[in-house]
Structures are given as C-alpha cells and as structure tokens.
C-alpha cells in the first residue's frame, strides 16, 4: 500500500518578518476516516474473532482507559503508546493561592507513540500525480 502526499508551501511564523523562512513541506493525503466498526470488521477478517467481539473489547478498553486517567494514572499500552492528561488554568496566576481546583480543567489527552510502534510502521510514500 502507498501513502500519497502533496507538497504545500509554509511560512515560518516564529521568527521576525525579515528572518522568516519559506519552504515546501509534505502533507499526507487522507483517503477516508475509518471508524471503530469498520476497523474491527477489517481486523476480524481471517481470524476466529468476530467483529462484534473486537468492537466490544475495544469499547471496554476505552472505558477503562478513561477511568485510569480519571484516577490520575498514565496508561501505557505496550507496543502502542502512552496516554496521559494535560491540564490548564482558566487564568494565569503568580501565586499558588490564586488558583483553586475549580479553575483547573482538562486541556487534552496526550498520546505518545511507543518506539516499537514507530519501528514497525514502515510506509511507502509517493507524490500524488497532478490532476
């Protein structure tokens, strides 16, 4: 299987106007978004599992992942990656007593890919032909 890409021009917005650099950067062209049901149907093909069992298992794992994160844990799925939480305050503060628990909220759930997954993910890229 081949992953198609296109080259998009992008400007460096971090530097001052006179020091900004422009360049071409690859952007992956996505074919579709695959949902859980489709993923499970495809994964079950050629196995003794049925898609419903796989989907139920993934849903249970996601439910438990959320519970573990809510308990303040990081969740590491060996060979896949680690999930953790990132928090934000509703306003900046200079003193610890200026921030209360009520003003802290979830910023994002962070996912860090495992090195094993990165090594296994060997893909072939090809520039998309002009239309």
Three-state SS for the chain is: CEEEEEEEEEECCCCCHHHCCEEEEEEECCCCCCCHHHHHHHHHCCCCCCHHHHHHHHHHHHHHHHHHHHCCCCEEECCCEEEEEEEEECCCCCCHHHCCHHHEEEEEEEEEECHHHHHHCCCEEEECCCC
In a domain, 115, yes or no: yes
Q: Is residue 97 one of the residues assigned to a domain?
A: yes
- Is there a domain that residue 51 lies in? no
Mean pLDDT, rounded, for 114-126: 94
Residue 42 domain flag: no
The pLDDT tens digits of the residues spanning 64-86 come to 999 999 999 999 999 999 999 99
pTM of the model: 0.76
Residues 18-51 have pLDDT tens digits of: 777 788 889 999 999 999 999 999 999 999 999 9
Residue 12: per-residue pLDDT: 75
* 37 or 101, higher pLDDT: 37
- Mean pLDDT, all residues of the chain: 91
- How far CA 49 is from CA of 11, 15, 40, 77, in Å, comes to 48, 53, 10, 21
49-66 per-residue burial string, b: 16 or more CB within 10 A, e: under 16:
eebeebbeeeeeeeeeee
Domain encompassing residue 87: 74-121
Quick check: is 16 in a domain?
A: no
For the chain, how many structural domains are there in total? 1
Is 7 among the domain residues?
no
Q: Mean per-residue pLDDT for 12-23?
A: 78
Q: How far apart, in whole angstroms, are the C-alpha atoms of residue 47 and residue 40?
A: 11
Does residue 22 form part of some domain? no
Flag whether 108 is in a domain: yes
């Amino acid at each position: 299987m081949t992953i198609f890409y296109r080259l998009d021009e992008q400007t460096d917005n971090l530097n001052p106007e006179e020091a900004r650099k422009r360049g071409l950067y690859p952007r992956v062209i996505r074919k579709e978004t695959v949902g859980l049901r489709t993923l499970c149907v495809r994964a079950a093909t050629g196995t003794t599992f049925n898609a419903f069992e796989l989907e139920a298992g993934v849903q249970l794992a996601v439910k438990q992942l959320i519970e573990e994160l809510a308990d303040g844990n990081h969740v590491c799925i060996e060979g896949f990656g680690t999930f953790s939480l990132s928090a934000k305050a509703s306003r900046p503060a200079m003193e610890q007593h200026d921030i209360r628990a009520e003003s802290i909220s979830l910023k994002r759930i962070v996912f860090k890919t495992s090195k094993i997954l990165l090594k296994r993910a060997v893909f072939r890229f090809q520039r998309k032909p002009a239309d």
